[in-house]
Structure 1
Amino acid sequence: MNFSNQTVFIKVKDYSVSQENFELLIDENLQLLKTHPQPSLDVLPKYYESEDYISHTDGKRSLFEKAYHLIKSYSLQKKVSLINSFHPEKGRVLDIGAGTGDFLATAKAKGWATTGLEPNEKAKNSAISKGVSFENDIKNIENQSFDVITMWHVLEHVPDIEQQIKELKRLLKPNGTIFIAVPNYKSFDANYYGNFWAAYDVPRHLWHFSKIAIEKLFAKENMKLVKILPMVFDSFYVALLSEKYKNGKMNFFKAFYIGLKSNVKAKQNLEYSSHIYVIKNN
């Protein structure tokens, strides 16, 4: 990856935890953005220390959190249906960045043998209480162990993407499938909100992807992008947070309008707020 010329794509701020400023550098060839500076591994956990970091909590304190979990429940069923469509015989699934374990619990109920990886102990303990099993270290997992590997809004958090993709390749069975969900910085809502776009989420999001970036990064490991699916709810969720960052409060009506407009635009240019990428061995 070539960020040596230090071309700044946009300057952004951590609105949710530290209030620190960052730059996003662009690799023009990959169409990939990199958060700069990237916190060291020993410092990075402090940026997740917030009760509002919603993927690490089952909290339903506010209307926003209640709506989030309602949509999340629907989305979990859709995700399991998606992996079933590629692997109707079921098998073993690994969810990297399993959070509070809801996806794996749903998959397990549908007949999958499930395993998770999750660095956050609070989220992991919540998942264990739901019957989710975990591996402590990805390096301890045997080669070609899984029919399906999922990373739902996790790849953007990984310090070394290229090494992570090598590990995904190693762990996947020859006929297996990888499902990756990440935000899309080329969406209408990203362009509309600019440096207030909540899905930049620096510095927790170390990388920011386009469709070209995903395709080229996985092609390096001889894996093929076979399908791209929209995540239509993400534009509304991201617009709500972006309104808060931009105007100091969640304007539900404005956010709904921008989220809807983003999805309408994406029907034409296929650049949704977030995408699910389906990847196979080539």
Structure 2
Amino acid sequence: MIIWLDPQDPFPPVERALGPASDAPGLLAASRDLTPQRLMLAYRQGIFPWYSEGQPVLWWSTDPRMVLAPQALKVSVSLRKTLRRVLRDPEWEIRVDDDFIAVMRACAMTPRDGQLGTWITDDIIAAYGSLHSGGLAHSVETWHRGKRVGGLYGVALGRMFYGESMFAHHTDASKIALAALCAFLDRNGVAMIDCQQETDHLASLGAQPIARAEFIAHVRTATAEPDIVPWHFDKSELARWTSPVSAEA
């Protein structure tokens, strides 16, 4: 039975989430509210929101949990060539937090295989926009010839990063942003990016499933660390991936 949360209710223990034999593995609770405060409580406990327009806010804690170690990002030979070109060509840029809301809206409008509509509703955009205003959510954006052609956004707490969504309007544009982000996070002592749910696409980038208990133990430690300050980098971070030693064919 799914627990209904009133505004002041705490989350139930994640072990009460629906199991793998259910129709919604990992579903933990539902609520009407989606406040920045509720989001912060969720992330610190290994819980995330995911729901569609017209549904209540659905809160999840999947087991296993898909995560990406920044240093384990898989960079193919072709992507490595692209990153070298991006580094050489001044028409390519990586911008951080140039327009967080625009990145969210671009992610919302990007079609996904097997998915009708988007879970990035206006309420989601408002809530994460508030986190961004507070310095807790960030966008990494790939720009080409003065246009935003790809990017991603997520939440940063201590030495933990929670990836939320990506989009690309140019070949490899989201991967370029992810490569820059991974290099920056690795350099700043972030050992794990939360990818939430297991997909073939995430696995192709180097993400792996781990037990929920292991994930939550890491979250408790990582979120207790100081936040990364300043949150700023550019495309020079991509140099981390341009040698054969640092990339995987």
TM-score strictly above 0.5: no
